[in-house]
Amino acid sequence: MLKNSQKLKINKEQIKEIKQSWRSQYGDTYQEGLHFLIEHLPNISKDIKEIVDEIAKNKPVQQIIGEWPFYDGTYVLDENVLIPRPETEVMIHHIISHVKSCKSILDLGTGSGCIAIELSKIYFNSRVHGVDKSYKAIEVAKKNNHQTLNKVNFYNSDWFSNIEDKFQLIVSNPPYIAYENAKDKSLMHEPEIALFAKNEGMSDIEHITLRAKNFLELGGRLYIEHGHDQKNKVQKLFKNNGFRDIETFKDLAGKERFSLAKL
Ligand SMILES: C[S@@+](CC[C@H](N)C(=O)[O-])C[C@H]1O[C@@H](n2cnc3c(N)ncnc32)[C@H](O)[C@@H]1O
């Protein structure tokens, strides 16, 4: 009884401290972030001072908590990987709704592994590879692999440099933000390698599209997530590289966000 009341008292104090820290950082805005943080407080293995410091440094709530829901899973994450985004969930949902069966999947730029792992759960007989140039991202992705029975093969690769097989489905959410937008404060806690690309954000998409047909089986599909203003460039690239049945789809905000092409 006493123990319970002590625990309650400590929690109340902690919550008060967190609320104060939050208020001095965000004022009365972004209350949903605060609620999410408080809700997850019992699961965070950090002391209260560390959490308060992180709030003061404007660290995203997802990184403070250290995990984040994505589609049908929950992904551990840190400052070495992109925080999985709802627009990527829309792409996953589209794939799952339109691709009935698939024997082999390659996720390029896997980050936390969220795309590869979610697809491995659905296409549970499929061979799934997830690659990233960042060794630290691969470490995070491997930590998330426990939630699928159809284990993903995660390894380092600079796009296709270490890929030897062909796949029926290649999917990628590559960096696509132009360096000119690098000043956006909301992005400063995520890795540069996950966000920015040269040539107005197009250089990685170009690299992938130019080589993808060498790693796709005939009839295979290429899905690429991109910026809302990059549709025309992506479609042109697909067309110039021998792809057919090119289509672009919108995210939940109604922005043209990912494109599909078939070989
Ligand atoms: C936008 S993040 C996507 C992460 C994850 N797939 C997701 O959707 O949340 C892009 C990822 O591409 C990786 N990346 C950047 N350049 C790369 C390259 N040359 N080869 C392989 N991966 C790369 C980054 O490390 C990062 O994990």
pLDDT digits (tens, 9 = 90+) for 108-121: 999 999 999 999 99
What pLDDT is attached to residue 182?
Answer: 72
Whether 34 and 122 share a structural domain: no
CA 255/CA 249 separation, integer angstroms: 8
Query: Residue 42 sits in which domain range?
Result: 2-65
Q: What is the pLDDT of residues 147-160, one digit of tens each?
A: 999 999 999 999 99
CB 223 within 8 A of CB 172: yes
Residues 92, 57 share a domain? no
Q: With respect to residue 79, please indicate whether it lies within any of the assigned structural domains.
A: no
User: In angstroms, rounded to a whole number, what is the distance separating the alpha carbons of residues 100 and 41?
Assistant: 40
The CATH number given to whatever domain includes residue 258 is: 3.40.50.150
Q: Both 6 and 92 in a single domain?
A: no
92 and 33 in a common domain: no
In a domain, 10, yes or no: yes
One domain for residues 135 and 183: yes
Q: pTM for the whole thing?
A: 0.93
Same domain, residue pair 168 and 103: yes
Give the model's pLDDT for residue 129.
98
Beta bridge pairs of residue 172: 108, 224
Q: What is the pLDDT of residue 41?
A: 84
Is residue 77 domain-resident? Answer: no
For residues 211 and 92, membership in a common domain is answered with yes
Q: Considering the domain boundaries, does residue 222 fall inside one?
A: yes
Q: Total domain count for the chain?
A: 2
Q: Give dist(CA 105, CA 54) in Å, integer.
A: 37
| Cβ–Cβ under 8 Å, residues 148 and 121 | yes
Q: Which of 77, 82, 131 maximizes ligand 1 atoms within 8 Å of its Cβ, making it the mutation to test the pocket? A: 82
Q: Which of 110, 163, 230 to mutate to test the pocket of ligand 1 (most atoms within 8 A of CB)?
A: 110
CA distances from 246 to 123, 147, 186, 224, 236 (A): 23, 33, 32, 11, 9
**Within 6 Å (CB) of ligand 1, which residues are found?**
81-82, 84, 88, 109-112, 114-115, 131-134, 137, 157-159, 173-175, 193-194, 204
Per-residue pLDDT of the chain (263 residues; tens, 9 = 90+): 334 434 334 478 888 889 999 999 888 888 888 998 988 888 888 888 899 999 999 999 999 999 999 999 999 999 999 999 999 999 999 999 999 999 999 999 999 999 999 999 999 999 999 999 999 999 999 999 999 999 999 999 999 999 999 999 999 999 999 988 777 777 889 999 999 999 999 999 999 999 999 999 999 999 999 999 999 999 999 999 999 999 999 999 999 999 999 99
Indicate whether 23 and 136 sit together in one domain.
no
